[in-house]
Amino acid sequence: MQKDPVGRAAARSGTNDGDAGQALIQARKLGKQVAGPDGGLTILEDIDLTLNRGASLAIIGRSGSGKTTLLSLLAGLDVPSHGGVWLAGHELNAMDEEARARLRRRLVGFVFQSFQLIPTLDATENVRLAAELAGLDRPGERSIQALRQVGLDHRLHHLPRQLSGGEQQRVALARAFVHSPPVLFADEPTGNLDGDNAAAVTRLLFDLQRQAGTTLVLVSHDLELAARCDQQLALVEGRLAPAAPEPAPAAPAAMAPMPPP
């Protein structure tokens, strides 16, 4: 009988998925190069990273700095040019794409800037599909419960086009957390939202993350959102570095004294 690469990785690690104190995400000497018109182009170089259960990390950087590429490598959606990634003790480099997909269904949730809801499915069906793929019992009941948790019990049977942007992202949060994933990857989760909806989604994201004990990795241009995480790192020339603190606002200039009358 053919052995499951996920099972072999678990045996090597000697741990169960999501054990307390376990490093949920590890990257060692991770790098990514692609071919360019003038030769090889380095996007990421020598990335080392360790995140334990329940930790939250924000990765910031300018557009094109490689943030989304790093997220894809950590989630096993892309393969590195060198180095390795371990997700809940499973070595992603040792798996084929089918095995990595099975692992993601069980252990990972995703939230995207563009929501990524299936347009022909209503809110409950979008969440239920994720619950079924994760192998949950009573997926319909769990889906409704997840939507109620994000305040959408009055939108259970609405299609995505019938929902506001903020409501669509709340459906996406319900979908991501329906199976209480050990790991959540969020790519610009408030990027398409106005200020009020962004604040509401941010509160929900961190409330759900704390309740589930989920390890969160998010990439964002929003420094206020990034500041909600335990740790902030910046991608600079393909390498991770501590994020510089936001400069304090300049003190107002002193007014010149009024001349005597």
- In the chain (261 residues long), the average pLDDT of successive 10-residue segments reads 35 42 88 85 93 95 89 95 94 95 94 95 98 94 96 96 96 96 95 92 96 95 92 92 62 47 47
SS3 27: strand
Q: What is the pLDDT of residue 40?
A: 81
Q: How far apart are CA 169 and CA 192, in angstroms?
A: 9
Q: How far apart are CA 172 and CA 105, in angstroms?
A: 15
The pTM score is 0.83
Q: What is the pLDDT of residue 106?
A: 92
Q: What is the pLDDT of residue 39?
A: 77
Q: What is the pLDDT of residue 186?
A: 96
SS3 9: helix
Reference 163, options 208, 193, 206; nearest CA is 193
Q: What is the pLDDT of residue 245?
A: 56
138 and 91 Cβ atoms separated by less than 8 Å: no
